[in-house]
Amino acid sequence: MIVVTGATGTVGSKVVVGLRERGEAVRALLRAGSSGPAEWDDAVERVAADFSDPDSLDAALAGADVVYLLVAVHPQMAAHERNVIDAAVRTGRRPRIVLHAAAGVEHRPEGVRFVGAHVSGLDHLRDSGLPWTVVAPNGFYQNFLGAAESVRTGTLAVPGGEGAVSYVDARDVAAAAVEVLATEGHEGAVYTLTGPAALPLDAVAEQFAAVAGRPVAYTAIAPATALAGMLDAGWDRWRAEGMIELYGLYAAGHAAEVSSDVEKLTGRPARSFTEFAAEHAAVFGG
């Protein structure tokens, strides 16, 4: 039995589908009141649980052989990872944990709270004595869907400086995770999941211009301006500050490593940003 947490999200929902396509027995952890995406088949076992509620996690993990541990970005995300790991230990079955972290986690970058939470989760996992594997994706192509409205008006305005980032398609992240979950031989591995190239943001804007058929300009805005904009737009401060930290990592060129782990795991090359932009041309103004 493979238990998938974060199962209704961008990556987790696709992991559930991919595991079912391989005939795996899957239990999806859902929050109370959710029944999961329509594309899941009836054989997906649904269980209500919350990362902040250890009793619910005990019930959700009972009988697990493998656990996909994906927590949402949240001020308590480090505690949420610890709670799932502790519940896995309490099962007494030593389930294999596949921790969905973030690229660079093994370098323990400081001052980037989202990655720092995964560093602390990985430390806890190592200390737990459970068998573990890490999948560590870089920023998803799909994050740019949130900037589509601005792209349609001809501007990509973010505080990413000039740094290149080896963004990855969330579908490739899910496919790689499915392989790690469904097959043996991954203990102690940290798989860095990236696209096939590192792109600076002016190259990203060029790709949007190509599919939109009109100019799209990248404007590197100052971090303080970006933070004020996010707060004005209603973001909570913890998350907005975390995004600024992440953009700082990107701007410094610390997210540019290109890895071949997607292809190693899935047997096919990682999707390019060009493919992603073309598939979503209408969204970006084409």
Ligand X SMILES: NC(=O)c1ccc[n+]([C@@H]2O[C@H](COP(=O)([O-])OP(=O)(O)OC[C@H]3O[C@@H](n4cnc5c(N)ncnc54)[C@H](OP(=O)(O)O)[C@@H]3O)[C@@H](O)[C@H]2O)c1
For ligand X, the binding residue among 1, 25, 62, 73 (CB under 6 A) is: 73
The answer to whether 46 and 22 are in contact (CB under 8 A) is no
SS3 of residue 115 by DSSP: helix
74 versus 286: smaller Cβ distance to ligand X: 74
Q: In the window 131-190, what residues touch ligand X (CB under 6 A)?
A: 137, 139-140, 143
- Give the nearer residue to ligand X in terms of CB position, either 93 or 239: 239
Q: CB of residue 166 vs ligand X: minimum separation in angstroms? A: 11
Query: Does 8 contact ligand X by CB under 6 A?
Result: yes
Give the footprint of ligand X on residues 105-124 (CB under 6 A): 114
**98 near ligand X, rule: CB under 6 A:** no
Part of the chain binding ligand X (CB under 6 A), chosen from 49-57, 177-185, 218-226, 270-278: 49-57
Q: What is the 3-state secondary structure (H, E, C) of 55-106?
A: HHHHHHHCCCCEEEECCCCCCCHHHHHHHHHHHHHHCCCCCEEEEECCCCHH
| 35 touches ligand X by CB under 6 A | no
DSSP symbol at 32:
T
Closer to ligand X by CB, 192 or 215: give it.
192
Please say whether the beta carbons of 188 and 199 come within 8 A.
no
**3-state class percentages of the chain: helix first, strand second, coil last, to nearest 5:** 45, 15, 40
Q: Which two tokens stand for residue 101?
A: 């972290």
Q: Does 34 help bind ligand X (rule: CB under 6 A)? A: yes
Q: Binding residue for ligand X (CB under 6 A) from 1, 9, 75, 147? A: 9
Q: Which is nearer to ligand X, 215 or 279 (CB)?
A: 279
Taking the complex as a whole, the smallest distance from the CB of residue 40 to ligand X amounts, in Å, to 12
Nearest to 180 by CA among 169, 171, 170, 191: 191
C-alpha distances in Å from residue 25, one per residue of 2, 48, 58, 59, 242: 6, 17, 18, 17, 36
7 interacts with ligand X by CB under 6 A: yes
Applying CB under 6 A, does 50 fall inside the site for ligand X? yes
The interaxial angle of helices 113-128 and 237-251, nearest 10 deg, is 90
Q: Is 83 in the site for ligand X (CB under 6 A)?
A: no
Q: Which residues bind ligand X (CB under 6 A)?
A: 6-12, 31, 34, 50-52, 70-73, 100, 102, 114, 137, 139-140, 143
